[in-house]
């Protein structure tokens, strides 16, 4: 083996060793942890553990994962720190994009829900309005029915009142006509109908048919007229004893009262009284005068109060 100068050869060997050492250093040892890459992993894991991000931004998460894998591989392959940090940065930003996309889609879902809510609120309001209108209409109809029945009742009442007034008027008219027929006289005590002696037999209290007719007519009108009270008063002339005259006048008055009651006039509205020979209306000295004094007077009073006594 021919000798060569030592020094250059040794130098060459050193260079070779250094180069090899560098190569070994690049491939052999596990590279130190990279903070930027750790950040990117942490961000990715946080996003991946959020179901909303996983579901709503699946595509963006996949891109983030690809970027993260590239950064991991670069670090494992011994790429420069700047290269690893660059790829880690990109991965981290892609995670941020995934988060934002998920946030946007969530907001869009809420907006869609709000639109549906608005339609529902409007529909409910319209339904409520329609129900209310229907209820109002029903109430108005019920009110109208009530009002109509009230009006009908009022009309019936008015008709009844009119008919009653007409009845009263008709009765009063009939009574007025009858009283004229019977030659009734207006006195302070009321209308007085005088039934003459000729309607009674001498010393008898029973009314003759002529007197009976007058009393019947009067009774028919009085029985339905609760506003009138009747007092029947009997009178005689001065012939005979006073006791006889009192008794006869009382019997004649009672006879007329019975006839009125027989016509339906309530007994409590008719009273009878014998006045004897008192209150003559003519002189007892002549036959004509005495005849006028023998009489029965029927006093009609409008008021509900008692018949004014003589």
Partner 1 sequence: MDTMKNARAVIAISAIALLGACASNPSSDADIAASSAALNGAVTAGAADTAPTELRAARDKLDDARRERDAGHGERAIALAREASVDARLAESKALAARSQQSAQDLNAANRALADEINRKSNSN
Site for partner 1, rule CB under 8 A: 4, 9, 12-13, 15-16, 19, 82-83, 86, 89-90, 93-94, 96-97, 100-101, 103-105, 107-108, 110-111, 114-115, 117-118, 121-122, 124-125, 128-129, 132
Helix (H, G, I), strand (E, B) or coil at 20: helix
Give CA–CA dist 75/38, Å, rounded: 12
C-beta separation of 251 from 293 below 8 A: no
Please, which residue, 38 or 132, has the CB nearer to partner 1? Answer: 132
Bridge partners of 192, per DSSP, are 185, 299
CB of residue 154 vs partner 1: minimum separation in angstroms?
A: 32
CB of residue 102 vs partner 1: minimum separation in angstroms?
A: 8
Please, which residue, 15 or 281, has the CB nearer to partner 1? Answer: 15
What six digits make up the tokens of 217? 């007519």
Q: Which strands sit side by side in the sheet containing 185-187, from one edge to the other?
A: 185-187, 190-196, 295-301, 229-235, 270-274
Give CA–CA dist 165/156, Å, rounded: 14
CB of residue 42 vs partner 1: minimum separation in angstroms?
A: 17
Please, which residue, 13 or 187, has the CB nearer to partner 1? Answer: 13
Please, which residue, 16 or 162, has the CB nearer to partner 1? Answer: 16
State the residue for tokens 């891109």. Answer: 63
CB of residue 55 vs partner 1: minimum separation in angstroms?
A: 16
CB of residue 30 vs partner 1: minimum separation in angstroms?
A: 24
């Amino acid at each position: 083996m021919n000798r060569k100068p030592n020094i250059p050869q040794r130098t060459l060997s050193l260079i070779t060793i250094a180069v090899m050492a560098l190569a070994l250093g690049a491939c052999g040892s596990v590279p130190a942890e990279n903070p930027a890459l750790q950040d990117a992993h942490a961000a990715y894991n946080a996003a991946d553990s959020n179901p909303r991000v996983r579901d709503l931004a699946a595509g963006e998460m996949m891109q983030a994962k690809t970027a993260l894998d590239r950064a991991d591989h670069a670090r494992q392959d011994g790429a420069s720190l700047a290269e690893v940090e660059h790829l880690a940065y990109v991965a981290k930003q892609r995670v941020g994009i995934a988060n934002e996309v998920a946030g946007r889609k969530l907001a869009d879902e809420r907006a869609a829900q709000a639109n549906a809510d608005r339609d529902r609120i409007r529909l409910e309001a319209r339904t409520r309005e329609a129900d209310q209108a229907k209820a109002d209409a029903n109430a108005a109809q019920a009110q109208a029915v009530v009002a109509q029945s009230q009006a009908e009742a009022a009309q019936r009442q008015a008709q009844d009142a009119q008919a009653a007034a007409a009845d009263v008027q008709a009765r009063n008219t009939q009574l007025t006509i009858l009283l004229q027929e019977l030659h009734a006289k207006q006195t302070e005590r009321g209308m007085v109908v005088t039934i003459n002696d000729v309607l009674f037999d001498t010393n008898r209290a029973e009314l003759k048919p002529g007197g009976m007719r007058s009393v019947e007519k009067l009774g028919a009108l009085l029985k339905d007229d609760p506003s009138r009270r009747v007092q029947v008063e009997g009178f005689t002339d001065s012939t005979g004893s006073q006791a006889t005259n009192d008794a006869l006048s009382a019997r004649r008055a009672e006879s007329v009262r019975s006839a009125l009651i027989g016509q339906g006039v309530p007994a409590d509205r008719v009273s009878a009284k014998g006045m004897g020979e008192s209150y003559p209306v003519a002189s007892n000295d002549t036959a004509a005068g005495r005849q006028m004094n023998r009489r029965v007077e029927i006093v009609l009073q409008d008021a509900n109060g008692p018949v004014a006594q003589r």
